[in-house]
Amino acid sequence: MSFRSNLRIDPSNPLLTIWLAVILLISGLFGCDSVGDRFESNRIFAKRWELTESIDLREPLADSEVVLTEFFGSPDEPKWPKFLNVGEGKLVSLQNLQRAAGAFSSGEQGEHKGLFREHCVVCHGVNGNGRGPSSALLTPYPRDFRLGKIKFKSTPIGHKPTKDDLKQILHRGIAGTSMPSFSTLDPEDIEALVEYVIYLSIRGELERKLIRDAAIELDLEGGERLYDLDSKEKYPEEFADVRGRIKGWAVDLQESWFEAEDKIVDVVGPPEGFPLVGNGDDPEAIAVSVANGKKLFQGTTASCAFCHGSEAKGDGQTHNYDEWTREWTVMAGLNPKDKKSLAPMFELGALKPTNIFPRNLTMGVFHGGSSPEELYTRIVNGIEGTGMPAAPLRPANSQGLTNEEVWDLVNYLRSFLPAEEQSLVSQETKSDSCSEEDASK
């Protein structure tokens, strides 16, 4: 009785009831979180070919999943095909893949496992499609690794980045975007993550190759299959042929990653005595070089201003789309602006196309690094996937820029850096500590 009479004035009781109701309600919201048993297929890429070729790719898509699972396993249990680990050192070690894959956990020595799900999945997605949970709210969107294209690297457009390029990206992060710096991670963790990115990328590129092959080469109506395990016993030779061909593609893809090391573009240093912003040279000589850089920037040879605007504020041409978007819009014959025609793609999870904006360079923030060498690399290599072309150079191009002119441009770009970041003395000590610097090689 005494308990009851207090109910009236004891507000914690009605509150508690409401709270309990809320908890019950919400616990219904907690879904299951198993994502580890299979990689989601690239249905958007298949849709692209279905639209352009008017075919049905459901069966080949299922077939491709079978080969890919045989070669690469699942998010929880990754595999690395034995036939890839022959010859030149290892591109990817199974041990590192296992460290990066799976659900995350940590041990008594502080070692973490499941690194990719711990650090990257919210943005890049389980299969590296760049469509993790948070992706739709980010600008720019996270990278889709399955195209094998990376923006900030030491190799020219059309070539893979080196492992060091990837390490550098993870170490530095990408300022002004949601891509974090992972410099607090152990070097072994970074190595494992880099190999996992390569793994997802090779897997993703092979998948795209399979889908494309099915769409263009196979006689689907005649019943031809991309990969048919049932035929293994009935027609062993044909099956071995098919499998061999697919293995060949995987080998080629791995080869393209190995090759990157040989494709690094050398930085051809400026001539003796050339003034550089930040190394204490004669201010007047520097001012002349910067002014010259600005003129070149606005000129028609480099045509930087076409995109970046004459004052480098990023307000030139701004209606382009990057290649990760073009792949499923323009290439599928769809207009990225026409929401209605894109509906089938949105249904499969595609993110709303957004324009790629040329950088406002006057902010003095360079995503691929702000050392003279790195900016030189950016200019002579262009930026993959963004439409920014490699600048034409002499002697290869008789109308192109001379070496000194490239360095004038570098000076112009570096003149936007905040004073404390211009100094090359501190810059050097900074990049020393990163130790992965290869742009200066």
Partner 1 sequence: MSASEELAFSPTSVKAAYASGVHRLAVALTVSVFPLIWVGGLVTTYDAGMAVPDWPGTYGENMFAYQAWLFGPFDLMVEHGHRLLGSLSGLLCVGLVVAAYLRDERSWFRKWSVFVLAAVIAQGILGGVRVLLDERTAAMIHGCTGPLFFAIATATAVMSSRWWFERNRKHLSDHENESGAVGQYATGRFIALTASVLAVTSYCQLIVGAQLRHTTGAVSPNEFKGFVHLHLGLAALVFLVALVLTVSVVAASRTPKQVRRVSLLLAIMVLCQIGLGIGTWLVNYALPWAELNATLAAYTIAAKGYWESMVVTAHQATGSLIISLATVTSMRAWRSRASLGN
Binding residues vs ligand HEC (CB under 6 A): 119-120, 122-124, 138, 140, 142-143, 150-152, 166, 169-170, 174, 177-180, 182, 193, 197, 302-304, 306-308, 356, 358-359, 361, 366-368, 375, 378-379, 383, 386-389, 391, 409, 413
Say how far apart CA 421 and CA 414 lie, in whole Å.
9
User: Residue 10 binds which entry of ligand HEC, partner 1, none, with Cβ cut-offs from 5 to 8 Å by kind?
Assistant: partner 1
> CA–CA separation, 153 vs 164, rounded Å?
9
> Any contact of residue 24 with partner 1 (CB under 8 A)?
no
Q: Is 118 in the site for partner 1 (CB under 8 A)?
A: yes
Residue 179 makes contact with partner 1 by CB under 8 A: yes
> How many residues line the site for partner 1 (CB under 8 A)?
75
Q: 335 and 341 in contact (C-beta within 8 Å)? A: yes
Alpha-carbon gap, residue 101 to 247, rounded angstroms: 23
Of the residues 24, 29, 396, 419, which one makes contact with partner 1 according to CB under 8 A:
29
Least separation in angstroms between residue 34's CB and partner 1 is: 7
What span, in angstroms and rounded, lies between the C-alpha atoms of 120 and 233?
Answer: 41
DSSP states of 69-116: HHHHB-SSSB---GGGSSSSS-SS-HHHHHHHSSS-EE-TT--EE-HH
Question: Which of the listed partners (ligand HEC, partner 1, none) does 262 bind, with a CB threshold of 5 to 8 Å by partner kind?
Answer: none
Given partner 1, ligand HEC, none, residue 66, with its beta carbon under 5 to 8 Å by kind, binds: none
- In terms of CB distance, is 348 or 365 closer to ligand HEC? 365
Q: Minimum distance from CB of 5 to partner 1 (Å)?
A: 3
- 340 vs 259: CA distance, rounded Å: 42
Residue 335, number of CB atoms within 10 A of its CB: 12
Contact with partner 1 (CB under 8 A): which of 53, 83, 106, 248? 106
CB under 8 Å to 416, separation ≥6 — which residues? 312, 361, 362, 363, 364
395 preceded by a cis bond (ω within 30 of 0): yes
Question: Which is closer to partner 1, CB of 178 or CB of 292?
Answer: 178
Contact between 119 and partner 1 per CB under 8 A: yes
Q: Given the complex with ligand HEC, which of 48 and 367 has the nearer CB atom?
A: 367
- CB count, 10 Å around CB of 139? 9
Cα 416 from chain centre = 27
Cis peptide leading into residue 372 (ω within 30°): no
Nearer to partner 1, 120 or 210 (CB): 120
How far apart are CB 166 and partner 1 at their closest, in Å? 15
Closest by CA to 368, choosing from 407, 340, 336, 410, is: 410
| Bridge partner list, 78 | 73
Binding of partner 1 at residue 26 (CB under 8 A)? yes
Instruction: Find the part of the chain contacting partner 1 (CB under 8 A) among 49-57, 147-155, 179-187, 289-297.
Output: 179-187
The CA-based dihedral angle spanning residues 273, 279, 282, 286, taken in that order and rounded to the nearest 10 degrees:
90
28 binds partner 1 (CB under 8 A): no
Tokens, residue 403: 């070496």
Q: How far is CA 428 from the centre of its chain?
A: 27
Residues 58-77 that bind partner 1 (CB under 8 A): 75
Q: Which is nearer to partner 1, 314 or 392 (CB)?
A: 314
**Contacted entry of partner 1, ligand HEC, none for residue 304, CB cut-off 5 to 8 Å set by kind:** ligand HEC
> Which CB, 72 or 366, lies closer to ligand HEC?
366
Partner from partner 1, ligand HEC, none contacting 45, C-beta within 5 to 8 A by type: none
Under the binding rule (CB under 8 A), the answer on residue 131 touching partner 1 is yes
Choosing from 82, 89, 184, 399, the residue that interacts with partner 1 (CB under 8 A) is 184
The distance between the two most distant Cα atoms of the chain, rounded to a whole number of Å, is: 100
176 binds, among partner 1, ligand HEC, none (CB under 5 to 8 A by kind): partner 1
| Rg, C-alpha atoms of the chain | 26
